[in-house]
Chains A and B, each alone.
Chain A
Amino acid sequence: MANTNTGEIMLKMTDIHKAYDNLEVLKGIDIEVRRGEVLAIIGPSGSGKSTLLRCINKLETIDKGSIAIKDRFLVQTKDGEAVYASGKEEREILSSTGMVFQQFNLFPHMTVLENLLEAPMQVKGLKRSEVEPYARELLGKVGLSDRADYYPSQLSGGQQQRVAIARALCMKPDIMLFDEPTSALDPELTGEVLKTMRELAAEHMTMVVVTHEMAFAREAASQVIFMADGNIVEQGEPETFFAAPKEERTKNFLQNML
């Protein structure tokens, strides 16, 4: 287990509020993630956990609160209104995050290798020769060296998701965000993706993982948050959280998941 409460604060979300029209989906969430920590967010669907994750890299905007990534404010609330960092600063701040989606979202018209090379070359302006060795190393790490020239459609869901992880890593992020990375996979394919994520956690990558995989949360997470109805119901280290949940809602949820 990564040592908690000592490392540099990588992500700090304070009093996050968000509503769609009249529906409040986040009702004042506070989160703190330190370097090397793996935060697992669990909860029933509609609890706001994916929305919360998507706020971290501004796929969703917040109405109130603040988000700081590595001590730089992505958004702050001034006079009751959420104010985001300017374009250039925002891009710099967000460049330290990488994301893995439920539906993989690989670029279908590019080969596996091209998927990995695209952003480093287009966004960072690197030459192919500067990125390709690292891209191939990452493909090796996720066990897909021999699939570099395949198109995503020629791969299984589990393989696609591992490519998506490698693609995000190729931008060398400091925080990896996972939005239900195994929910779209056949049960027999979730293992290979979870294995890759465990390896990443073992290398002390800072991770925020929205998941339904209780076994993963229990073994790989350093912190678990249970969300329901836009609130954090319970939070703790996995040993105590799973062994002795305090709240009734948590108990019910965990019982239904097993």
Chain B
Amino acid sequence: MEKLFDIFLLMLDGTQITLEIFFVTLLLSLPLGMMAALGRLSSLKIISRIVEFYIWIMRGTPLMLQLLFVYFALPMIGIRLPDIAAALLAFTLNYAAYFAEIFRAGIQAVPKGQYEAAKTLGMSYPQTMRRIILPQVIRIVLPPVSNETINLVKDTSLVYILAMNDLLRVARTIVQREFDMTPFLFAAIFYLAMTFVLTWGFKKLEAYYGKY
């Protein structure tokens, strides 16, 4: 029993790294994704093209490769980031690209008539986006955003490749040292618990935004 508790304490540190990557990535990639979506829909061809290229790169290469690139290749051109910052940069850029496509689809799913109604009532473009379009977009994108968010919980484990002691890496270290499989069980329970909480949270959000 005491040994179990020790393992649990060791794993708490790993959990902290995992949670940190998860929350900071989400916090940064959601607004960045929204900006990218608006850029993608911009009538300025050059902006739209740049964003399109960015999304293609991010979705077209493995997240693992992007992590390695930020961690190993950037220092070669003189950009040296702390481990955690490198991981966050790669995660944020990657997830923002996926969120951008989700938001773009959401924005385009709002009928043209909504823009026209707002326009004939004298509302400006920023007012129309903020007050009329985005609240409807949130409702549309909640299910796919929920999906991506749950993916992110599990993708955080990729940072093991940067020798960061996240939950899964800590678990593996203990397993290899002690020949005890319990840490894997702990890790599985943690990921499942995170997913459970997120699923519940998104369900609440969907109910709130689905009231009309």
Taking Cβ atoms with an 8 Å cutoff, the residues of A that contact B are: 57, 59, 91, 94-95, 97-99, 101, 103, 105-110, 118-119, 122-123, 151-153, 164, 167-168, 171, 177
Chain B residues lying within 8 Å of A177, measured Cβ to Cβ, are 120
The answer to whether A167 and B114 touch (CB under 8 A), given A122-B127, A152-B212, is no
A contact residues around B150 at 8 Å (CB): none
Return the chain A residue nearest B139 by Cβ: A109
B residues contacting the other copy or chain, number (CB 8 A): 20
Residue of A nearest to B122 (CB): A123
Q: Do A105 and B131 touch (CB < 8 A)?
A: no
**Chain A contacts for B136, CB-based, 8 A:** 108-109
Residues of B within 8 A of A105 (CB): 111, 113-114, 116-117
Alpha-carbon distance A46/B136, docked complex (angstroms)? 32
**A164, closest chain B residue (CB):** B117
Q: Which residues of A contact B119 (CB under 8 A)?
A: 57, 59
B121 touches A109 (CB 8 A): no
Query: A177 → chain B, closest Cβ, in Å?
Result: 8
Chain B positions within 8 Å of A152 at CB level: 212
With A108-B136, A108-B212 in contact, do A122 and B131 touch (Cβ < 8 Å)?
A: yes
Contact A94 B113 (CB under 8 A): no
Question: Closest residue of chain A to B135, judged by CB?
Answer: A109
Q: Mark B138-168, 1 if CB is under 8 A from A, else 0.
A: 0100000000000000000000000000000
B116 contacts which chain A residues (CB < 8 A)? Answer: 59, 99, 101, 105
Question: Which one, B117, B123, B132, B135, contacts A101 given CB within 8 A?
Answer: B117
CA distance A152 to B139 in the complex (A): 16
* Contact status of A94 and B132, CB under 8 A, knowing A105-B113, A152-B212: no
CA–CA, A91 and B122, complex, Å: 7
In the assembly, what is the distance between CA of A167 and CA of B136, in Å? 19
Contact A107 B120, beta carbon cutoff 8 Å:
no
21 A–B contacts, CB within 8 A, in A order: A57-B119, A59-B120, A91-B122, A94-B120, A99-B117, A101-B113, A101-B116, A105-B111, A105-B116, A105-B117, A106-B117, A107-B114, A107-B132, A108-B136, A118-B121, A118-B123, A118-B132, A119-B121, A123-B124, A151-B211, A171-B121
CB distance from A74 to the nearest CB of B (A): 13
What DSSP secondary structure best describes chain B's contact surface? helix
Bound-complex Cα distance A99 to B117 (A): 8
| Neighbouring A residues of B114 by C-beta, 8 Å | 105, 107
Known: A57-B120, A94-B122, A105-B113. A118 touches B212 (CB 8 A): no
B111 / chain A contacts, CB cutoff of 8 Å? 103, 105
Q: A118-B131, A151-B212 are in contact. Are A171 and B122 (CB under 8 A)?
A: yes
Q: Tell me which of B113, B120, B139 contacts A97 (CB under 8 A).
A: B120
Extra contacts, 18 of them, besides A105-B116, A122-B123 (Cβ < 8 A), are A57-B119, A59-B116, A59-B119, A94-B122, A95-B122, A98-B120, A105-B114, A108-B136, A109-B136, A109-B212, A119-B121, A122-B131, A123-B121, A123-B122, A151-B211, A151-B212, A171-B121, A177-B120
Contact of A107 among B117, B124, B139, B209 (CB under 8 A): B117
Minimum CB–CB distance for B70 against chain A, Å: 39
Contacts of B211 in A (CB 8 A): 151
**How far, in Å, is B127 (CB) from chain A's closest CB?**
5
Whole-angstrom CA separation of A99 from B113 in the bound complex: 12
Chain A residues whose C-beta falls within 8 Å of the C-beta of B139 in the assembled complex: 109
Q: How far is the CA of A109 from the CA of B130 in the complex (A)?
A: 13
Q: Chain B 103-121 against A: per-residue CB contact (8 Å), 1 yes, 0 no? A: 0000000010110110111
Nearest chain A CB to B126 CB, angstrom units: 10
Q: Which residues of B contact A167 (CB under 8 A)?
A: 121
Residue of B at shortest CB range from A170? B121
Check A99 against B122 for contact (C-beta < 8 Å): no
CB of A168 within 8 A of CB of B212, answer no
A91 to chain B, nearest CB (A): 6
B142 to chain A, nearest CB (A): 13
When A105-B113, A109-B135, A109-B139 are in contact, do A153 and B212 touch as well, CB less than 8 Å? yes
CA distance A51 to B71 in the complex (A): 57
